[in-house]
Every structure is written in structure tokens, then in C-alpha cells.
Amino acid sequence: MPFNHNKLLGELLSGVLIIFWFLMSYLLSYETISGFIAPFIESMQIASFLIFLPHGIRVISVYFLGYKAVLPLFISHLLLYQLFEKMPPYETHIPLALVGALSPLIAFELLRVCDLKSYYRPNPPDAMPNTVGPPLLAGILAAIFNGLVTLAILMLSDNPVANLNFLLGYFIGDLLGFAVILGLIVTIRNLRDSLKSNQNNS
């Protein structure tokens, strides 16, 4: 079987873009969004998780690329722990990175096992188009799985912030961050379709 260089380059570029947007989305969440809402919330610990955009990047990456997005997401988490402050203990970095990278894949696979068209399809039939339902449900499932397992890992490491308030903040942050990213993508897609329709009618 001949080696496809273009396919490999495309996958490498996709991986680099996932890492870039994951880190940028965290920077935006932590420095901009949290900085804006911190004066209105007493606990900065909860504020820092209020709109966690990287969860949106996680889910959307797996939605479009499937298992191929797992490695770039794993690397993204490890880089995140090295580049930013107020990160979890060093011994939890690899387990937490694995959970963060695998949680959306597990969610989409659960939907696939339930015979739902979970992943993005480049050329879907007109009777079964791509809809926001599957990625939305996968995002919720991934947030639940990620929050519960992350809490368990931090509790095993005797982290003082690992409690039910932390879990609630984590869950809400993941959901709101995903909602922002999904809403942005849907808006862009609708604008693109509207422009195409206007061009065809003109």
C-alpha cells in the first residue's frame, strides 16, 4: 500500500491546530473571561472554571477527527500543565491528561454503540444530515465523565480543592465552554450556508 504523504501532513496539521486552539482557548478562558467575571464571584477558584472553552475544543476535535484527535489532546493537556500556573500536582498530570483526552472519545463511542450517528460525516445523505444533537449530547456525557474521574484522581492525591463544589464548578465550566464553541461553529456554518444560498440565487 503506497504511503500517502498528503494525508500524513494533513493529520499533522490537524494535530498542531488542535494543540494551538486548545492552549489559546485556555488562555482566553483564564485571562479574559475569568478576569472579567472575577469581581462578581467571591471564589476565584470557581470563577476560573466558569466558562472552560477547552472542553469545547476537546469535543469538537473528536467530533470531526475521531480517535485521531486523542493524541493531540493528550499533548495539549500536558503542555497546559507546564505553561500555566495554578495547575494540579505533578503526579496527577498524566492521569488527568488521559482523562481529558479520552472523555469525549468515550462519549462519542457510547453514542455510536447506541446506533446514533455521533461523528461528523463529510457527505451525509439528505435524509440524515449532520445535526447538533449528537455532539451536544456527547459534550454533556464527556463533561460528566471528565468531572467525576478528575475529582476521583484529585481526591486520591489529597488535593484540598477536590470536593462537590469543585465538581459542580468543573461540570458547569465544561458545559458553558462547550456551548460557546458549539454555538460559534453553528453560527459560522449558518452564515456560510446563507452566503452560498444568496450566491446561487443571484
User: Which one is predicted more confidently, 116 or 99?
Assistant: 99
Where are the domains positioned within the chain? Answer: 7-201
- The per-residue pLDDT for 45 is 46
The pLDDT tens digits of the residues spanning 128-177 come to: 787 888 899 999 999 999 999 999 998 888 877 778 887 888 888 899 99
pTM recorded for the entire structure: 0.86
CB atoms within 10 A of CB 22: 25
